[in-house]
Structure 1
Amino acid sequence: MAHEEHLPANVLTLHPDPLLRAGIVASLRQHGGFEVFDGGPDRVNRDGARIDVVIADYHEAMRLAGAASQGTAGSLAAARILVLTSDDCEADIRRALEAGIHGYLLLGGPLSEFIEAVTALARDLRYLGRPVAQRIADSLLRTSLTSREIDVLQLVVIGESNKAIARRLCVEVGTVKTHMNGILGKLNATSRTQAAAIAITKGIVKERMPMPGPGARAALVPAS
């Protein structure tokens, strides 16, 4: 149910950075449409108010979205979640949206966009920051990589050979080569180096994301 127009939206900030959290609180309190609660270091709502919007970093937002889907979010079960982060990786954005995140903003954007995002979520709408929306829109114009292709591409980005990738993912070298051919075609790249550069530029994978050892499934999600 949309928040009634004449009532201020109750907003809880759970961002772990104390300076950023203080800035969020100060910015929102300048507007009459919000009642702001500072979650503080313990990240709890001690006031007992019904929370309409929660503002958090990527990790905390994903944790809360997971708890909500499992019915263990308690008093925050009905809150709409806004991610405020520097993470512009396409795979992570898609993962957040699939997990039930309602809004996604990148740090460094204009204050007007931030206020617009909180207002939208308070009205039961979704909101993507302009760079985030552009990232997703761009991804729709190309054939999406499969989850395994993303796994392979992430390992290419950190400099692994086909043999090393095969060992890590417990597949045959020929399978890795097949995945590489698919990656090159979908990214319109002519080499592994160019594919890696495109993947980093477009935020499909992270440049220095640590990977699990042999036999462990890479912790990545498909960009489709």
Structure 2
Amino acid sequence: MEDVIRIVIVEDHDLTRMGLEAALQRREGISVIGEAANGIQGLKLLTSEKPDVAIVDIGLPDMDGIEMLRRFREYSAEAEPATKILMLTMHKGEDSVMAAFAAGADAYCMKDISMDKLEEAIRSTHDGNPWIDPTIASIVLQQVRQKEVVAAPETEKTVQIKALDAEYEEIVGNAGLTDREIEILQLIVRGYSNAEIAETLFVTVGTIKTHVRHILNKLCVDDRTHAAVLALRAGLIE
């Protein structure tokens, strides 16, 4: 029998919070065990209930979700297994995105995400695979580039970035992806779920799952997010 994913929601807008709870409770294998309307309540809830995944809004009234997350990570540094944190927000600026990950976020989703994609993000996050909303993937990609480029004059940095991009392009080029697999990878980058890809391409979900597994194996990555970032980095997907 599949383990139930225990969820806590920290969101100050009552209708949003109640809507999320009602929608998630109808999903098989997911149980909402608590909710909070501000950071103080959320911090107490996370430390007392120790959920598997916490869905946290950034724009909380007393302390923002990033500060709440930072305090929770400091408090529960030794706790095992650690609660996974999924940020669900309207904030997509670079400062918010990178601050959330620096504070210990495991996933970052925009509030206009569909319930199917949110469920996918929750399950992926719970399994230990980071989930990043496609709309902010470029921000993460930019940060990856900056970390990989050593301190150097600006002209040298440009050369290094081009060299790294060429290296990733070679990796993807040598992966031997079929036209169909590239088409599916394009849809993954755009944030489509397996069900949505299947509907778009008029095939079964099982067929798409098989294609996705082949894509991950060929690119030597563990999850869809890493495959998408690699494709973006190699210039395969515009």
Instruction: Name the TM-score class by shorter chain.
Output: 0.5 to 0.7
Instruction: Determine helix, strand or coil for the equivalent of 2:45.
Output: coil
Aligned-residue Cα RMSD (Å) equals 3.4
Of 25, 29, 33, the residue aligned with 2:29 is 33
Instruction: Determine helix, strand or coil for the equivalent of 1:58.
Output: coil
Deviation at 1:134, TM superposition (A): 3.2
Larger Rg: 1
Aligned pair in 2 of structure 1 residues 76, 45: CA closer, same or farther (>3 Å)? farther
Deviation at 1:91, TM superposition (A): 2.0
Equivalent residue for 2:45? Answer: 45
Using the size of structure 2 for normalisation, the TM-score is 0.51
Unaligned runs of 5+ in 1: 145-181, 187-224
Deviation at 1:75, TM superposition (A): 8.3
For residues 133-152 of structure 1, the aligned pairs below 5 Å read: 133-137=137-141
Deviation at 1:18, TM superposition (A): 0.8
Cα deviation per residue 1:97-139 (whole Å; 9 max; x = unaligned)? 1111111011112222111111112112211111121332256
Counterpart residue identity of residue 110, structure 2: L
Cα deviation per residue 1:35-58 (whole Å; 9 max; x = unaligned)? 112323443439x54411111111
Greater relative contact order, per chain length (Cα 8 Å cut-off, separation 6+): 1
* 8 Å contact from structure 1 (residues 8, 34) kept in 2: yes
Equivalent residue for 1:111? Answer: 115
More helix as a share of residues = 2
* 8 Å contact from structure 1 (residues 68, 77) kept in 2: no
Deviation at 1:68, TM superposition (A): 3.1
Cα deviation per residue 1:178-221 (whole Å; 9 max; x = unaligned)? xxxx9xxx9xxxxxxxxxxxxxxxxxxxxxxxxxxxxxxxxxxx
* 8 Å contact from structure 1 (residues 37, 45) kept in 2: no
* 8 Å contact from structure 1 (residues 53, 82) kept in 2: yes
Question: Identity, % of aligned pairs?
Answer: 18
Instruction: Determine helix, strand or coil for the equivalent of 1:70.
Output: helix
State the distance in 2 between where 1:67 and 1:77 align: 17
Deviation at 1:27, TM superposition (A): 1.5
* 8 Å contact from structure 1 (residues 120, 127) kept in 2: yes
State the distance in 1 between where 2:83 and 2:146 align: 34
Runs of 4+ in structure 1 off by over 4 angstroms are 72-77, 138-144
Deviation at 1:65, TM superposition (A): 2.3
Equivalent residue for 1:177? Answer: none
Equivalent residue for 1:58? Answer: 58
Using the size of structure 1 for normalisation, the TM-score is 0.54
User: Is 2:96 the partner of 1:100?
Assistant: no
Counterpart residue identity of residue 52, structure 1: D
Of 10, 33, 38, the residue aligned with 1:14 is 10
State the distance in 2 between where 1:13 and 1:79 align: 13
Equivalent residue for 2:128? Answer: 124
Aligned pair in 2 of structure 1 residues 45, 143: CA closer, same or farther (>3 Å)? closer
State the distance in 2 between where 1:50 and 1:22 align: 20
Counterpart residue identity of residue 111, structure 1: M
Unaligned runs of 5+ in 2: 149-153, 159-238
Counterpart residue identity of residue 70, structure 1: E
State the distance in 2 between where 1:93 and 1:24 align: 22
Deviation at 1:61, TM superposition (A): 3.1
State the distance in 2 between where 1:95 and 1:129 align: 15
* 8 Å contact from structure 2 (residues 10, 17) kept in 1: yes
Q: In the comparison of the two structures, how many residue pairs are matched?
A: 143
